[in-house]
Structures are given as structure tokens and as C-alpha cells.
Amino acid sequence: MSVTVAAVDLGATSGRVMLGHVGPDDLRLEAVARFANTPVETIDGLHWNILELYRSIVEGLRAAGQAGEVSSIGIDSWAVDYALLRGGRMLGTPYHYRDERTAAGVDAVHAVAPFSELYGENGLQFLAFNTLYQYAADRIAGVLDLADAALLIPDLVAYWLTGEKVAESTNASTTGLLRVDGSSWNAPLAESLGIPSRLLPRLVQPGERIGGLRDAVRTATGLDAPVVAVGSHDTASAVVAIPMTDPDAAYISCGTWGLVGVELDAPVLTEESRAANFTNEGGVDGRVRFLHNVMGLWLLSESVRAWERESGEAIDLPELLAQAAAVETPQPVFDANDPAFTAPGGMPGRIAAWLGERGLPVPQSRAEFARCIVESLAAAFAEAVHTASSLSGKRVNAIHLVGGGSLNTLLCQLTADRAGIPVLAGPVEATALGNVLVQARALGAIEGALEDLRGLVARTTSPVSYAPRA
Ligand code: LFR
């Protein structure tokens, strides 16, 4: 039996609705709608354009229904961001994690629970935008106390579609308020930080039915299908679809971010892994995503955005990367993990400043800049793979690189070279594939453990292999 399901995937630059056709020997995606996901800067900071997105999702679902018989709907997006609600009404417009308001939240949280203590409770790497710091910033601003619920973005969309308020567990694991074993919310920790535990909704696991569509949504979309929880954290969905046929493998889910790590059955909470800022995020089927956030293609896309603004001309990325590959002058490597590169705007200038401050040569042309960025990403990826392996004790014979970055041949080759480990690139659509696979399994169209789902991905896609060069 093959089923058709709809995946709503909200990524850093665009949102999509895709149809997934899935059966024991079938795994195909069909894009039915694509729309911009552009944050909006207002007087009080950087926000999600959430209403526009929701309208586009509803229209996209309508298009999905016209293209095929949809049996269920799954939603994923990036982690950590949320809306506050009271009596079901959204209070204000959700913030984008790249907004800088969280600094005060970090200080307030660490004054009560220092990072060393938090790591034992939630197993998360320190990222200043983790939800608990954002909540703390909202508490300081006096808005948190007004709320009676907080919903992560995919859960907010599910709520608007179904009327059910839940917290999907993989994404909940990125809030910092879920116990590291994923079993429950850490209400005492939340309360000790002044975050009312009433805000934290009922947890659901990937594969659980969230609810049927509200009448108004059924009318607007023409669909009558349930919303099913998937790995609603996009990275969790991507990891589901990594075609690891050899368990001794690392992965890099590379889009805006490069999420570099291994899959484990139990978290690593050692002092070494805390010092290396490795995270233990919740995966589908209770697996642990032991990984580190490297800045990712953001460095490149923000640079391109800056150059396009400056020149008023569109830049052809494949052409720029071809020029970067042809650069012969050795380019310097900067620390692609430096938080100095998190916020939007002026990226080439920030990279040049970073290099200049350390007495390193500054790239002279756009091609040299692009090469410097890709070399720096590859260096950070290679280092994170080796660190993941040594911290977890897991052997790594291959690196699976999935997501948009898998199309970047220069990045794939340089990662293999710098790691000294073969890179297997693709599928590019890992997140959407993971989303539809979990739905199809919940519907009974396919069965088995994650290894079986990955076997299906391996049989239906063809990763490109990059051998390390001397
Ligand atoms: C990737 C991702 C990362 C998360 C970052 C911010 O899209 O979800 O896993 O750390 O975005 O939410």
C-alpha cells in the first residue's frame, strides 16, 4: 500500500507544502506550493511573518488536496521559536531567534541556573537563543506573565489547523525545559526561572495524531485529514531520512545551519561534551541527536545578500561557487562557530573584521570570500565530526551530508578532504522526506525502525560520493 501525505516545511528563506507518496518501495516528493518566509523587523525587533505564512500554508494545503488524496498532514520548522497565547489568542507576534533581545534572558537564567547545572538537566549546548532564554527575556519585558500557553511554531500551526494545543517532543527538547531523557517537562526548573509551568502544553511523540482539521480549515483547504506529529524540529526530521546503511556514520544536516553529529541511544553529559558545546537533542523514536550547531550556509547567503544590495545586481550562486573552486591563492580560515556571525546584515564586513583583528589576510574578491567561507565551513564540519566521534566513542566511517548544502560540491569535497573521511551527499530534501516517512509509518503504509525508513531512503535516492583527497 502506498499513501499520499502532505508535509509543511518552514525553512529559513521559504516555506513549502510538499506531497509525499510513500510505500514499502516508494518514496517520492512533489512540491505543490512554495512561499517566502521572510522575517520582519519592526520597532521592537525581528519577528516571524506568521499570519502571512499561515495563509500561505492553508492555500498550499488546498493546492495539495487538488493534486492528490491527502491522508495526513505533518508540520516542521526550525527549533526554539514560539508564540505566547492567552485563552487561545496569540499575544503579540512571535520573535525570530536571530533577534538580539535574548542577552538579558541569558544573564537572568544563568544567575539562577548556571550553564554547568543546566547541561545536566537538559543536555543542550549553549545557544543564546534557546527558548528558555527567550522566555526569560519575555519575563523581564513583563509579557510572559500574561500568557497561559506557549506553542513552538509548528505546534502553533497545528493548533490553528486543529484547535489542539500540544508540544511535539523533538522540538520541545530544544526549549531547554524538557528533561534530558525526554520523559517530561522539567516544571521545577521552569518555575525556578520564573517561567510558569502552565505555559508548557501536553507532550506528544512523532507519529501521534494531533487532531482533525477544524471545520473552517476543512472548508478553506478542501481537505479532511488529521494533523500527525512528525519530528517537528526540522533537524529531527532530516536525521530520520539520512540514508545511513552503516551505523558507524556521522551526519551533517546542512542548510542555513550545519548540524554536525551522530545518532545515539543515550545522551552524553560529560564535562568534555559540555566544554565542546555539544547538544543532546531529542530525536524521533527516542534517539538522541548528539550534535553541534555550525553556522552553515547562512554565512554564504548573507554575504550574497550583502553584495546584491551593494551592487543592485543578482548573483548567480552556482557561478560564484565555480569561481570559488577555481581560486588558487590559499584562503584563510575563520571560526565558523563564532557568535559574531549570528545576526543578519553586513556579513562580508564582519568576516573581514574577524580576519583583520587576528592579523590574517582578507579575501580580495567575491570568489575569494566565497572560497574562504566554504573552507571555513568545511574545517568546522570536519572538526565537529571528529569531536562527535571522540566524545561519543562512536566510529565514523562515512559522513552523510544532507539538505541544501549537499548540492554544494565544493563544500562536500572540502569536508571530505579536511575530515579525511568520505562524504556521501544527499538527499537534498532530507527534512521533507523525514516528515513524510514518519506520517506514512503512523498510517501503517510502511513499518519498522528508523533503520528501515533509512533503508527506504537509501533504495530510492542516490547519494553522491566524495573521497578525501590527500
Ligand atoms: C535548523 C535549526 C537548528 C536550530 C536552529 C535554530 O534549521 O532548526 O537545528 O538550532 O535551526 O532553531
Q: Count of residues for the chain? A: 470
Pocket of ligand 1 (CB under 6 A): 78-80, 97, 233-235, 255-257, 259, 293
Distance 16 CA to ligand 1 centre (A): 17
Q: Model's pTM, two decimal places? A: 0.98
Is residue 193 within 8 Å of 132, Cβ to Cβ? yes
Preceding peptide of 24 cis, ω within 30°: no
Ligand 1 atom 11: residue of nearest CA = 78
22-163-221 Cα angle (round to 5)? 55
Point out the residues that are catalytic.
234
Q: What would the pLDDT profile of 324-341 be if each residue is shown by its tens digit?
A: 999 999 999 999 999 999
Is there a contact between 163 and 214 (Cβ–Cβ < 8 Å)? yes
Separation of CA 291 and ligand 1 centre (Å): 11
How far, CA to CA in Å, does 177 sit from each of 149, 199, 296?
Answer: 14, 11, 26
Q: Please identify, by atom number, the ligand 1 atom nearest to the C-alpha of residue 81.
A: 12
Q: How confident is the model at residue 464 (pLDDT cuts 50, 70, 90)?
A: very high
- Distance from Cα 79 to the centre of ligand 1, integer Å: 5
Pairing state of beta strands 288-294 and 166-168?
unpaired
What tens digit of pLDDT does each residue of 265-322 get?
Answer: 999 999 999 999 999 999 999 999 999 999 999 999 999 999 999 999 999 999 999 9
Nearest atom within ligand 1 for CA of residue 12: 7
Q: What's the complex ipTM?
A: 0.99
If one residue of 13, 14, 46, 78 were mutated to test the ligand 1 pocket, choosing by the most ligand atoms within 8 A of its CB, it would be: 78
DSSP code, position 210: E
Domains annotated on the chain, with CATH? 3-228 (3.30.420.40), 244-426 (3.30.420.40)
* Ligand 1 atom at minimal distance to the Cα of residue 253: 1
Q: Could you read off the pLDDT of 48-97 as tens digits, one per residue?
A: 999 999 999 999 999 999 998 999 999 999 999 999 999 999 999 999 99
Distance, in Å, from the CA atom of 61 to the CA atom of 17, rounded to the nearest integer, reads: 7
pLDDT tens, residue by residue, 171-230: 999 999 999 999 999 999 999 999 999 999 999 999 999 999 999 999 999 999 999 999
